[in-house]
A and B are shown apart, each in its own frame.
Chain A
Amino acid sequence: MPANFEVVIVGAGPAGLAAASAAVERSRRVLLIDDNPAPGGQIWRGEGRQPPRGVETWLETQVLGPLRPGLLMADRAGVPAQISYEKLILATGARERFLPFPGWTLPSVMGAGGLQALVKGGLAIEGKRVVVAGTGPLLLAVAAYLAKRNARILLVAEQAPRQRVLRFTANLWRQPAKLAQAFSMGRYLALKYRTGLWPVSAHGNGKLEEILLSNSRRLACDYLSCGFGLVPNSELAALLGCRIATGEVLVDEFQRTTRERIWCAGEPTGIGGAELSIIEGRIAGYAATGDRHSATSLFTARMRASRFPREMDSAFSLRPELRRLVHPGTIICRCEDVRFSQLTSHTTWRAMKLHTRCGMGPCQGRVCGPAVEFLLGCAPEGARPPLYPATVSQLALDRQ
């Protein structure tokens, strides 16, 4: 028997929590789902955020895909579940973009947010030598957090050129709160922060020992924490048939997707950060429960909040040199150990999958897809069920 709800929200990060608090004002049957063990998404991980009162919350729950319109198949902490909804709000967030370079598969080379998440999850970082590299303000946030946990931050390497970063920082004057944020992190780490610098390769025997930087310097370290921006998690939206353009879920002013009864808020509609995600989440929550007035009242705030991400996007765009780090033997698809040289003779994502198994492992292209898109210019098309590896017994529920 499926569990029945009026509004089902997938994702309990900033957008999902905001959607839930708006939706619960008019509906008593709101379900909030997240695959993490706690609400808050990636950005509020470990901060003890609570779902709004009156909202039923299922954690460690993963949506595997739709069974038919209005019905989702899920895995709730290892137990198969069916969830029926009248309205669905997708707040599936974003993941980090990983770029391959020689040695990126060595243990202790991680995502920027990835290392932070693991330290929040109890990974001992005290006294460890850490290099944070990649692009965007996230690097400073991660470095500041790790430094507070007594990691030895050796370097924060920002790939964007100095002038762009300076121009971006100057623009922050228009956003005093963001400026304060940038400076309190900046002072702390100012001496370790370098622009126009990126890792070229990582080396070590069985684990990371040393990295080579674009200025030809070698640096011994225990962790390399690397983030090259964020990628929207649009797989569930794609599977539900929502229209997606350049990786982003298309929505109207009420955050409604091109599919009946499905709304989308936050990063899947375009990377915008927590502030914008919260506003979009509230609009979606109100719109889905028929409160168009409250939804409309947030349109101006949404417009204001979307300026910052646009500026960030242009300041921290990825430089072409990053495409040339890979060697023919560099592994691109980590699940199936597919090397760069195996991919270059194919021109579509589909051909790569069929001929090399690239993107066909358990991550289903979530890591290599954006990398291949950046390196070779062909993007993964659509998504296939189940969204995550599932057991036969979970899938067999379909036939009950």
Chain B
Amino acid sequence: MIRLRVNGKPVSLPEGSVVAAAIALSGLDATRSSVRGEPRGPLCGMGICFECRATIDGQPHQRTCQIPVRQGMEVSTDAG
């Protein structure tokens, strides 16, 4: 199992999972807030729509549906 933290909350999930799945597992439905402050979650699941973007290890705007979970990752969502 891969252990990482989403907004400080520890979650663990199988290797090969993507960060978007970890965010959902942490109990969040939204991955970001839109320009007008609406909650948004993943839409396309394939790196096209950018709705699932979040900060990973300090790097902002990462598409969490495309990035595999790695041990010790720190993920933060602006909606969280």
Contact = CB atoms under 8 A, between A and B. Distances in A.
Contacts of B38: 105, 331, 337
A206 B20 contact: no
A366 B45 CA distance: 13
Nearest to B30: A107
Contacts of A124: 21, 24-25
A111 B65 CA distance: 13
Contacts of A114: 42-46
A37 B46 CA distance: 11
Contacts of A107: 29-31, 39-41
Given A36-B66, A37-B66, A124-B24, A108 B41 contact: yes
A interface: dominant SS: loop
A265 to B, nearest CB: 19
Interface string A342-372: 0000000000000000000111001100000
Interface string B43-80: 11111111101000001010001111100000000000
A111 B45 CA distance: 8
A113 B48 contact: no
Given A122-B17, A334-B43, A363 B66 contact: no
B14 to A, nearest CB: 6
Contacts of B50: 335, 361-363, 389
Given A105-B34, A367-B48, A118 B20 contact: yes
Interface in A35-82: 35-37, 42, 46, 60, 78
A122 B44 contact: no
A42 B46 contact: yes
A362 B13 contact: no
Main secondary structure of the interface of B (DSSP, over half): loop
B49 to A, nearest CB: 5
Interface string B1-45: 000000000000110111011101100011100111011111111
Contacts of B18: 37, 118, 121-122
Contacts of B69: 122
Given A36-B47, A37-B67, A42-B46, A105 B40 contact: yes
A288 to B, nearest CB: 26
A55 B22 CA distance: 33
A367 B44 CA distance: 9
A24 to B, nearest CB: 26
B45 A118 contact: yes
Interface in A357-396: 361-363, 366-367, 389
Interface of B: 13-14, 16-18, 20-22, 24-25, 29-31, 34-36, 38-51, 53, 59, 61, 65-69
21 contacts: A95-B44, A95-B48, A98-B44, A98-B49, A107-B30, A107-B39, A107-B40, A109-B43, A113-B44, A113-B46, A118-B20, A118-B24, A118-B65, A121-B20, A122-B13, A122-B16, A122-B17, A122-B18, A122-B69, A334-B51, A337-B36
The 7 closest A-B pairs by CB, nearest first: A122-B17, A107-B41, A117-B45, A114-B45, A121-B18, A122-B21, A207-B29
